[in-house]
């Protein structure tokens, strides 16, 4: 009788151990896919963030290049100041373009202009999701006041933003032409322009004055030279 009870007790212990082992295996199987999925999601988010950062850097540099080319055309007496003001707004412009044309933003301005993006339906208003087809539609997407003053052409005298109605039409069609050198030098802030170089004319060469005196003696003409 005692042996039978002992055998049952042992059998129950073995079954209990098997059940615990089975449950542990099930828990591990359920947890591992979840961890793997979390790791994949995190990797995807990091990759997406890096791609966004790379796009933003490219757009910022493209806008800085435009600022330099636009104001250094030989017709702007304040070209360095206007370039600095314009380039400071490159981050705001990059954020705008990433929001309003997330698909086509990586193609600006090396391959496509804003005009091209609009024609390909790659430029939209992120607030209303309406397509941007005209330059004035693009102005309607601007929320940054300084960027609006610059791109819209109204200017802001207090912030030295020039009033220039030609800025938007030029930006709208801007893209790097073949042979254009990208990444021109950025104008540093608060750097006075270099003083104009003065050229000193070479000293004039003064030749000595020579006097020639001739006398006729008998039938012979005699000449003498003297230096003044």
1-28 per-position pLDDT tens digit: 445 655 555 565 667 667 676 666 665 5
149 located within any domain:
yes
- Segments forming the whole domain that contains residue 109: 49-172
Task: Summarize pLDDT for 118-164 with one digit per residue, the tens.
Answer: 999 999 998 888 999 999 999 999 999 999 999 999 999 999 999 99
Q: CA-CA distances (angstroms) from residue 75 to 69, 163, 173?
A: 12, 15, 20
Instruction: With CA atoms as reference, report the closest residue to 85 among 158, 182, 179.
Output: 158
Residue 144 resides in a domain:
yes
**Domain-embedded: residue 53:** yes
Q: Which residue has the higher pLDDT, 44 or 200?
A: 200
> Does the pLDDT value for residue 42 go beyond 90?
no
Number of structural domains, the chain?
A: 1
pLDDT 10s digits, 164-181: 999 999 999 999 875 455
Q: Is 186 a domain residue?
A: no
**pLDDT digit string (tens) for 192-224?**
555 555 555 555 555 555 565 656 566 555 666
| Omega cis (within 30) before 109 | yes
Which residue in 88, 90, 84 sits closest to 56, CA to CA?
90
pLDDT higher than threshold 70 for residue 30: no
117 near 107, Cβ under 8 Å? yes
Residue 7 lies in a domain: no
- Spatial separation of the C-alpha atoms in residues 135 and 167, rounded to whole Å: 11
**What is the rounded (10 degree) CA torsion for 19, 25, 30, 33?**
-170
Q: DSSP character for 214?
A: E
């Amino acid at each position: 009788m005692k042996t039978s009870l002992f055998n049952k007790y042992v059998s129950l212990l073995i079954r209990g151990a098997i059940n615990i082992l089975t449950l542990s295996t099930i828990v591990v199987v359920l947890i591992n896919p979840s961890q793997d999925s979390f790791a994949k999601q995190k990797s995807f988010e990091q990759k997406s963030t890096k791609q966004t950062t790379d796009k933003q850097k490219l757009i910022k540099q493209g806008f800085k290049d435009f600022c330099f080319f636009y104001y250094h055309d030989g017709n702007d007496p304040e070209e360095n100041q206007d370039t600095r003001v314009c380039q400071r707004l490159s981050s705001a412009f990059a954020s705008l373009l990433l929001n309003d044309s997330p698909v086509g933003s990586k193609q600006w301005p090396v391959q496509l202009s804003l005009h091209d993006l609009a024609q390909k339906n790659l430029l939209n208003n992120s607030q209303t999701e309406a397509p941007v087809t005209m330059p004035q539609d693009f102005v309607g997407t601007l929320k940054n006041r300084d960027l609006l003053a610059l791109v819209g052409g109204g200017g802001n005298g207090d912030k030295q933003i020039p009033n220039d109605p030609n800025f938007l039409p030029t930006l709208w069609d801007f893209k790097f032409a073949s042979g254009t050198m990208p990444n021109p030098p950025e104008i540093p802030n608060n750097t006075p322009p270099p003083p104009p170089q003065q050229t000193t004319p070479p000293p004039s060469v003064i030749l000595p004055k020579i006097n020639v005196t001739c006398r006729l003696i008998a039938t012979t003409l005699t000449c003498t030279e003297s230096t003044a």
